[in-house]
Amino acid sequence: MQQNNEGFKSGFISIIGRPNVGKSTFLNRVIGQKIAIMSDKPQTTRNKVQGVLTLEKSQMIFIDTPGIHIPKHKLGDFMLKVAKNTLREVDVIIFMVNATEPRGKIDELIMDMLENNETPVFLVINKIDQVHPDELINIINSYKNKYDFAEIIPISALQGNNVDRLLETIQKYLPEGPQYYPADQVTDHPERFIISELIREKVLHLTREEIPHSIAVIIDKIKKEEDTEKDMIRVMATIVVERDSQKGIVIGKKGALLKEVGIRARQDIEMLLGTKVFLELWVKVQKDWRNKSAQLRDYGFRD
Ligand code: GDP
Ligand code: MG
Ligand code: K
ipTM of the complex: 0.97
**Which atom of ligand 1 is nearest the CA belonging to 27?**
7
98 lines ligand 1 (CB under 6 A): no
Assess whether pLDDT exceeds 80 at residue 209.
no
Residue 3 lies in a domain: no
Report how far ligand 3's centroid is from the alpha carbon of 201 (Å).
10
pLDDT value at 48 more than 90: no
Report the phi/psi class of residue 115: left, alpha or beta, with left for phi > 0 and alpha for psi in -120 to 50.
alpha
Is 19 annotated to bind a ligand? Reply is yes
Per the structure, the count of domains in the chain is 2
pLDDT tens per residue across span 133-190:
999 999 999 999 899 999 999 999 999 999 999 999 999 999 998 777 767 666 554 5
pTM here is 0.64
Same domain, residue pair 100 and 57: yes
Instruction: Decide whether any atom of ligand 1 lies within 6 Å of the 130 Cβ.
Output: yes
Both 216 and 288 in one domain: the answer is: yes
- Residue 68 annotated as binding site: yes
Q: In 3-state terms, what secondary structure has residue 67?
A: coil
- The answer to whether residue 118 is domain-embedded is yes
Residue 255 covered by a domain:
yes
Domain housing 208:
191-299
Task: Tell whether 139 and 197 lie within a shared domain.
Answer: no
Q: Is 17 annotated as a binding residue?
A: yes
Dihedral sign for Cα 205, 210, 215, 219, please. negative
**pLDDT (tens digit, 9 = 90+) per residue, 57-98?**
998 988 766 545 555 555 556 556 666 766 777 899 999 999
- Whether the CB of 11 sits within 6 Å of ligand 1: no
- Residues 165 and 197 both lie in one domain: no
Same domain, 103 and 232: no
- Whichever domain contains 24, its CATH number is 3.40.50.300
Residue 33, pLDDT > 70, answer: no
The crossing angle, in degrees rounded to 10, of helices 74-89 and 105-114 is 40
